[in-house]
Amino acid sequence: MALKSCALGARDGQDQHGVYSWTVAGNMVYAHITLSSPLSLELSATLKVIKVEYRDEVS
Protein backbone atom coordinates (compact mmCIF):
# COMPACT_ATOMS: atom_id res chain seq x y z
CA MET A 1 0.00 0.00 0.00
CA ALA A 2 1.13 3.54 -0.65
CA LEU A 3 1.02 4.49 3.01
CA LYS A 4 3.30 1.60 3.84
CA SER A 5 5.75 2.75 1.18
CA CYS A 6 5.76 6.23 2.66
CA ALA A 7 6.35 4.81 6.11
CA LEU A 8 9.31 2.85 4.77
CA GLY A 9 11.02 6.06 3.73
CA ALA A 10 10.09 6.73 0.10
CA ARG A 11 9.45 10.43 -0.30
CA ASP A 12 7.66 10.10 -3.59
CA GLY A 13 6.85 7.28 -5.91
CA GLN A 14 4.24 5.19 -7.55
CA ASP A 15 3.14 1.60 -7.15
CA GLN A 16 0.12 -0.48 -8.04
CA HIS A 17 -1.90 1.28 -5.34
CA GLY A 18 -1.33 4.84 -6.48
CA VAL A 19 0.95 7.84 -6.34
CA TYR A 20 2.31 9.15 -3.09
CA SER A 21 4.62 11.84 -1.80
CA TRP A 22 5.54 13.27 1.55
CA THR A 23 7.68 16.04 2.91
CA VAL A 24 9.10 16.54 6.37
CA ALA A 25 9.37 20.10 7.68
CA GLY A 26 10.47 20.41 11.27
CA ASN A 27 8.20 18.20 13.36
CA MET A 28 5.44 18.06 10.72
CA VAL A 29 4.89 15.59 7.90
CA TYR A 30 2.91 16.70 4.86
CA ALA A 31 1.56 13.70 2.97
CA HIS A 32 -0.28 13.58 -0.34
CA ILE A 33 -1.60 10.28 -1.64
CA THR A 34 -3.67 9.54 -4.72
CA LEU A 35 -5.01 5.99 -4.78
CA SER A 36 -5.73 4.18 -8.03
CA SER A 37 -9.07 2.61 -8.95
CA PRO A 38 -11.29 1.12 -7.71
CA LEU A 39 -11.06 3.67 -4.90
CA SER A 40 -9.84 6.71 -6.85
CA LEU A 41 -9.35 8.74 -3.69
CA GLU A 42 -7.05 11.66 -3.17
CA LEU A 43 -5.79 12.20 0.35
CA SER A 44 -3.82 15.03 1.88
CA ALA A 45 -2.77 15.09 5.50
CA THR A 46 -0.60 17.06 7.85
CA LEU A 47 0.75 14.92 10.66
CA LYS A 48 2.68 15.98 13.72
CA VAL A 49 5.68 13.79 14.36
CA ILE A 50 5.59 12.55 17.92
CA LYS A 51 8.25 9.86 17.73
CA VAL A 52 10.74 9.11 14.99
CA GLU A 53 12.54 5.79 14.83
CA TYR A 54 15.38 5.05 12.47
CA ARG A 55 16.46 1.50 11.85
CA ASP A 56 19.32 0.62 9.55
CA GLU A 57 18.80 -2.92 8.38
CA VAL A 58 21.85 -4.68 7.03
CA SER A 59 21.11 -7.37 4.47
Instruction: Report the number of distinct structural domains present in the chain.
Output: 1
* Residue 10 lies inside a defined structural domain of this protein: yes
* Residue 55 lies inside a defined structural domain of this protein: no
Residue 31 has what pLDDT? 75
Segment 15-26, tens digit of pLDDT: 666 777 777 777
Segment 19-49, tens digit of pLDDT: 777 777 777 777 777 776 665 566 666 666 6
Residue 28 has what pLDDT? 73
Adjacency order of strands within the sheet including 18-25: 12-15, 18-25, 28-35, 42-48
**Would you call 50 helix, strand, or coil by DSSP?**
coil
* Residue 12 lies inside a defined structural domain of this protein: yes
Distance CA 44, CA 29 (A): 11
Q: DSSP code of 6?
A: H
Residues spanned by the domain of 16: 2-48
